[in-house]
Amino acid sequence: MGNDMVSKGRVTIREVAERAGVSTATASRALSGNHPVPAATRARVLRAARDLDYVANAHARALVGGGRKMAAVVVRQVTSPFYAQVAEGVEAEAADRGWLCVVGATGGDAQREMEFVQLMREEGARLVILVGGVVEDDAYRERVAHYAHALDSSGARLVLCGRPAPDPEIPALVVEFDNEAGARAVTAHLLSAGHRGIVFLGGLPGNTALDARVAGYRAALAEHGLPAEAAHVVDCGLGRAAGHRAMTELLKRTREFTAVFAGDDMVAAGALRAIADRGLSVPGDISVVGYNDIPLAEDFNPPLTTVRTPAEELGRAAVRIALRDPEHAAGAHHLLGTHIVVRDSVGAPPPGRAL
Amino acid sequence: MGNDMVSKGRVTIREVAERAGVSTATASRALSGNHPVPAATRARVLRAARDLDYVANAHARALVGGGRKMAAVVVRQVTSPFYAQVAEGVEAEAADRGWLCVVGATGGDAQREMEFVQLMREEGARLVILVGGVVEDDAYRERVAHYAHALDSSGARLVLCGRPAPDPEIPALVVEFDNEAGARAVTAHLLSAGHRGIVFLGGLPGNTALDARVAGYRAALAEHGLPAEAAHVVDCGLGRAAGHRAMTELLKRTREFTAVFAGDDMVAAGALRAIADRGLSVPGDISVVGYNDIPLAEDFNPPLTTVRTPAEELGRAAVRIALRDPEHAAGAHHLLGTHIVVRDSVGAPPPGRAL
DNA sequence: AGCGCAAGCGTAAAGGTTTTCAGAGCCGGG
DNA sequence: CCCGGCTCTGAAAACCTTTACGCTTGCGCT
């Protein structure tokens, strides 16, 4: 084969053109194919490019061509099953459209989030997707307003997934789940199984996603005629460790409850472990429900009844919506539905303890 | 505040320079700080940049500056807990060094892998990390050899994580776990609990990672004086669904075993479910072990005894090693250790059935 | 034969930044 | 007083590709 690899440095289009005996302009046209070029010439150029193993310099191309199609998705951490699924959805939808997808993890640090968005701006990303609930304070509002305007002024789009827009006028899209409805449904499920003492484990005051779930929980209790004092929210935050710690603590303090509504499935995992450590059984002694339906929720002990939030679809929807109506959608708000999936972690309250 | 945001289009360094009353050269120096500039001048430039919300054009910068520090990690899928952890490790280590990290998912498709690597080449990534076992055929060898030479010729580095180099001479680093040792240890654990009929569930002939685990399994059996026929490998591949299907099938066909060594924890999850569906208990009737120790393995029913492969450390090590000795390391092979973590899924074989 | 038109292709500019080279101004030492 | 050298700054080249513009050539029509 006439396979003359160059030894060092990048092959430029000039070398390809030279080898094919044409100018760089013709080579560029033959390679990108957006301008008619006689078949014979094109073949010569393509051949030369292949022989030299030419790859276009994306930076030079972006400089003149207005930027590569690149989407960025930023999450708290990739190892959280929920975030991973959202990221996979974004990645898949982006790949389907020939877009490159960059994933960034912030570890929940606003500073790193800012740095990453800045980086994406420098890099010329045309779509930035921020995922996950957040505590909505003034700092947050200012930060996101800044992102939105900055990205908008360079023609990029911002999508907020599961977090609120600081102001409906801002150039950003919002797409999220109906957390309140999901929480209300699963709380109702617990109530109709006979439970009256239900504690919500995993509140995170100020966090929009959790607050909505707590609101749904309270609403369901009220709808069933329970007084406001029937609500018992433990603000332990999210994560398996937090759930384990809070549940252990709670069991030490009181038994005035027969069911636990965990803020998400990871909290539920911790709670299940704590309950088992205490020698109690689920759902015999205590019923437990979670939120999100992560892929392994059915492998918990017992399989977890939870609220399914189609995370991958959330990611796909984010890019689909952002790319659909370039102008129409600014400021739009999309709400995705959820549904409860029943497994084995909910039963009737133990006979002696029905309130 | 004198906060004059531009309405459209990107702010260039010329505008910053103009506003600060200096040339682009001075502005560039003040901003990147790699050349001394008097404090007063620098302050004026920084002030102007902040007022205009200037962000450098990374493409233009990369064009002249030899490229941004960017690492790419490519995995089969982000939602697999193991891959997610590796990706997180790469991401974390890259972020620590101020590098940008891009994550790509191939879905196991060689075509998409090639496209992604090509893209990274165009984009000027300086470090490409390919993660995960793979079937090592001629197509694979040719493909990887091509990546290696192509990346090397433009000064980028290639790291293979958990997959073999097609040829030691090739400019690529290899870093992986000692799959064989881990498998041998966990098999020995089963043997010393008294099991003699152990089936390996999740073989994937040709896949280097799985073949190594099978080899370790066979070696342990041999070391305990069992004949080669004692080995029973079910080639069902990986994933929860595959494990569930294969285990159901196996239970229908035979009971000539008292323990299952699952190819990874997801297979184990499926197997556990299948065993429970059949009305059998773990470890009372059958013992089960997995591989990888994914974060939720301790929440399985029962908590899974498995082999811990420090996945995040694998990712961190990949970038650390690649960045450490630019030249020295080419062709080097790094092996990371594993250890077995004992939980509740292994017990003695049932009394009537010890062989 | 002469003219017009289209196809094919090359020249050059543009895109934003970094960096080299050199010029200008200044200070101190000889 | 002069000159060497130092500090600060600016003009311009370089990075690589795309594309607007215009030139040449050849063909078909009158």
Q: Out of A218-222, A278-282, B116-120, which region has the weakest mean confidence (pLDDT)?
A: B116-120
Q: Is the pLDDT of residue A5 over 80?
A: no
Question: Measuring from the CA of residue A57 to each C1', which nucleotide is nearest?
Answer: D16
Structure letter (DSSP) for residue A291: S
Whether any strand C atom is under 7 angstroms from the Cβ of A24: the reply reads yes
Would you state the structure tokens that stand for residue A296, as one six-digit string? 């392994």
Structure letter (DSSP) for residue A250: H
Q: Out of A49-53, A107-111, A171-175, which region has the weakest mean confidence (pLDDT)?
A: A107-111
Whether any strand D atom is under 7 angstroms from the Cβ of B26: the reply reads yes
pLDDT at B338: 96
Report yes or no: B313 and A288 within 8 Å, Cβ to Cβ: no
The Å distance, CA of A58 to C1' of C8, is 27
Would you state the structure tokens that stand for residue A3, as one six-digit string? 């396979």
- The residue among B172, B217, B168 whose CA lies nearest residue B195 is B217
Q: Give me the mean pLDDT over the A336-340 stretch.
A: 95
Could you give the count of Cα atoms lying within 13 Å of B179 in the half-sphere of its Cβ? 22
Which tops the pLDDT comparison, B180 or A101? B180
Q: Is the pLDDT of residue B3 over 80?
A: no
pLDDT at B2: 38
Residue in chain B lying closest to A62 (CA): B59
Q: Is the pLDDT of residue A326 over 70?
A: no
The overall longest dimension of chain B from CA atoms, in Å, is 91
Q: Is the pLDDT of residue B145 over 80?
A: yes
Residue in chain A lying closest to B265 (CA): A296
Q: Do B102 and A100 touch (CB under 8 A)?
A: yes
Report yes or no: A178 and A307 within 8 Å, Cβ to Cβ: no
Select from A58, A100, A154 the Cβ nearest to the Cβ of B124: A58
pLDDT at A329: 58
Angle between helices A39-52 and A13-20 (to 10 degrees): 130
Whether any strand C atom is under 7 angstroms from the Cβ of B353: the reply reads no
- The residue among A345, A342, A341 whose CA lies nearest residue A283 is A345
Whether any strand D atom is under 7 angstroms from the Cβ of A61: the reply reads yes
Q: How would you write A148-205 as a 3-class SS string?
A: HHHHHHCCCEEEEECCCCCCCCCCCEEEEECHHHHHHHHHHHHHHCCCCCEEEECCCC
Neighbours of B20 (CB within 10 A): 22
CA of A192 to nearest chain B CA: how many angstroms apart? 27
Report yes or no: B121 and A11 within 8 Å, Cβ to Cβ: no
Q: Do B87 and A78 touch (CB under 8 A)?
A: yes
Structure letter (DSSP) for residue A301: S
- The residue among A182, A299, A200 whose CA lies nearest residue A247 is A200
The Å distance, CA of A30 to C1' of D17, is 13
pLDDT band at residue B328 under the 50/70/90 scheme: low
Question: Measuring from the CA of residue B11 to each C1', which nucleotide is nearest?
Answer: C16
**Residues A259, A348: Cα–Cα separation, whole Å:** 10
Angle between helices A138-153 and A110-123 (to 10 degrees): 0
**Residues B212, B200: Cα–Cα separation, whole Å:** 12
pLDDT for B218-246, tens place per residue?
999 999 999 999 999 999 999 999 999 99
Q: Is the pLDDT of residue B181 over 90?
A: yes
Query: B272 at the A interface (CB within 8 A)?
Result: yes
Whether any strand D atom is under 7 angstroms from the Cβ of A32: the reply reads yes
Q: Do A123 and B68 touch (CB under 8 A)?
A: yes
Strands lying side by side in the sheet with B259-262: B232-234, B198-201, B259-262, B287-289
Query: A327 at the B interface (CB within 8 A)?
Result: no
Strand, coil or helix: B234: strand
Whether any strand D atom is under 7 angstroms from the Cβ of B43: the reply reads no
pLDDT band at residue B327 under the 50/70/90 scheme: low
Query: B100 at the A interface (CB within 8 A)?
Result: yes
pLDDT band at residue A85 under the 50/70/90 scheme: very high
Integer angstrom CA distances of residue A99 from A93, A159, B2, B201, B355: 8, 16, 38, 38, 58
The Å distance, CA of A66 to C1' of D21, is 21
Residue in chain A lying closest to B75 (CA): A88
- The residue among B305, B211, B313, B315 whose CA lies nearest residue B259 is B305
Select from B60, B101, B122 the Cβ nearest to the Cβ of A56: B122
pLDDT at B330: 62
Residue B339's H or E segment, with its range, is strand B339-341
**Residues B349, A183: Cα–Cα separation, whole Å:** 44
Residue in chain A lying closest to B56 (CA): A122
Of all residues in chain B, the percent with pLDDT exceeding 90 is 68
Neighbours of B355 (CB within 10 A): 11
Could you give the count of Cα atoms lying within 13 Å of B48 in the half-sphere of its Cβ? 25
- The residue among A99, A95, A101, A93 whose CA lies nearest residue A72 is A101
Please give the angle made by the CA atoms of A58, A64 and A65, to the nearest 5 degrees.
70
Strand, coil or helix: B207: strand
Residue in chain A lying closest to B117 (CA): A55
pLDDT band at residue B98 under the 50/70/90 scheme: confident
Residues 43-62 of A with CB under 8 A from B: 53, 55-62
Residue in chain B lying closest to A116 (CA): B100
Q: Do A95 and B103 touch (CB under 8 A)?
A: no
Query: A103 at the B interface (CB within 8 A)?
Result: yes
Whether any strand D atom is under 7 angstroms from the Cβ of A65: the reply reads yes
Query: B5 at the A interface (CB within 8 A)?
Result: yes
Q: Give me the mean pLDDT over the B171-177 stretch.
A: 92
pLDDT at A8: 57
Query: B23 at the A interface (CB within 8 A)?
Result: no
**Residues B230, B148: Cα–Cα separation, whole Å:** 41
B339-341 and A157-161 as β-strands: parallel, antiparallel, unpaired? unpaired
Neighbours of A188 (CB within 10 A): 18
Question: Measuring from the CA of residue B10 to each C1', which nucleotide is nearest?
Answer: C16
What nucleotides of chain C have any atom within 7 angstroms of a protein Cβ?
Answer: 7-12, 14-20
Q: Name residues 104-163 of chain A with a Cβ under 7 Å from nucleic strand C.
A: none
- The residue among A267, A256, A165 whose CA lies nearest residue A210 is A267
Whether any strand C atom is under 7 angstroms from the Cβ of A23: the reply reads yes
The Å distance, CA of A99 to C1' of C8, is 33
What nucleotides of chain D have any atom within 7 angstroms of a protein Cβ?
Answer: 7-12, 14-20
CA of A178 to nearest chain B CA: how many angstroms apart? 23
Q: Which residues of B touch A91 (CB under 8 A)?
A: 78, 103-105
Residue in chain A lying closest to B156 (CA): A9
Q: Out of A118-122, A212-216, A246-250, B88-92, which region has the weakest mean confidence (pLDDT)?
A: A118-122
Residues 120-149 of A with CB under 8 A from B: 121-124, 149
Angle between helices A240-253 and A265-277 (to 10 degrees): 40
CA of B47 to nearest chain A CA: how many angstroms apart? 17
Phi, psi torsion values for A129, nearest 5 degrees: -120, 115
Mean pLDDT computed over every residue of chain A: 90
Please give the angle made by the CA atoms of B130, B133 and B138, to the nearest 5 degrees.
85
Whether any strand D atom is under 7 angstroms from the Cβ of B58: the reply reads no
Phi, psi torsion values for B80, nearest 5 degrees: -70, 125
Residue tagged 């996101």 (tokens): A144
